[in-house]
Amino acid sequence: MSHPSAFVTHGIAQAQRALANVAVMTNAHLTPTTLKRTLAQRARAELARLEIIIRRLLTLMALGLVLPPVPVRAFSVHPSCTGRIETKASGRLTGLSPRLLGPDMDGSALVSAPRACGPVPAAPILARLAALQELLAAPEAHARRLARTLERQRKAGDAAPMALPMTRTHRLPPELGAIATALPELLRDAFKSWESSG
């Protein structure tokens, strides 16, 4: 099947712009050691929403790829090591697990229970931001790896991943909000052939 490449390309450009806004908001170019607590909470909420959108865009891109067959090679490592190799493509920072395309999230889910005050370390937020920026610098390579993972899951008889609607899209820039709203339906259509193509 062919994927709506113009939509994905536009979505990636809008996501890159939103990541640049988070970089400006956190003064990432100055590599601060701490951030004000309220700023950190806002940045985490923005990144959580962007991770969902980026994951969905890459999944849509992956579903449109036609992959060449993988050549069968003799094991050069012990078979017990293959589990680690196969899961390496879905990195924790980038949130690329194809089994979970992301529920709607807002900042309230990211606030810790005890209400502390004062600045918080900036490093985890800046690392998360940098990982997403690196991901979007070469989306095709990540989409190819994701396509392989999805294909293995489909052949294993796993159920197709689901993308739940994002309900707080008004907090996003208008164009990115429209993209986030359209993605679940586009992914549902893209996954329609999941069981019939097994």
* Residue 76, domain member (yes or no): no
Q: CA-based angle 134:155:187, to the nearest 5?
A: 50
Instruction: Give the C-alpha separation, 184 to 162, whole Å.
Output: 8
Whether residue 124 lies inside any domain: the answer is yes
CA distance 158 to 129: 31
Q: Which residues contact 132 (CB under 8 A, 6 or more apart)?
A: 19, 47, 50, 51, 54, 94
Position 73, amino acid: R
Render each residue's pLDDT in the chain as its tens digit; 198 residues: 344 589 999 999 999 999 999 999 999 999 999 999 999 999 999 999 999 999 999 999 999 888 777 665 544 444 443 333 233 333 333 333 444 455 444 444 444 445 567 899 999 999 999 999 999 999 999 999 999 999 998 889 888 888 888 878 888 899 999 999 999 999 999 998 886 665
What is the domain count for the chain? 1
Q: Which helix (H) or strand (E) holds 121?
A: strand 120-121
Assess if residue 98 is contained within a domain: yes
Is residue 71 domain-resident?
no
Does residue 198 lie within any of the structural domains? no
pLDDT at 168: 80
Torsion angle of C-alpha atoms 187, 192, 196, 198, degrees rounded to 10: 10
- 149 is in which domain, residue-wise? 5-66+85-110+118-190
Within-domain flag for 158:
yes
Q: Is 176 within the bounds of a domain?
A: yes
Residue 172 forms part of a structural domain = yes
Residue 125, judged by CB atoms within 10 A of its CB (0-12, 13-18, 19+), counts as buried
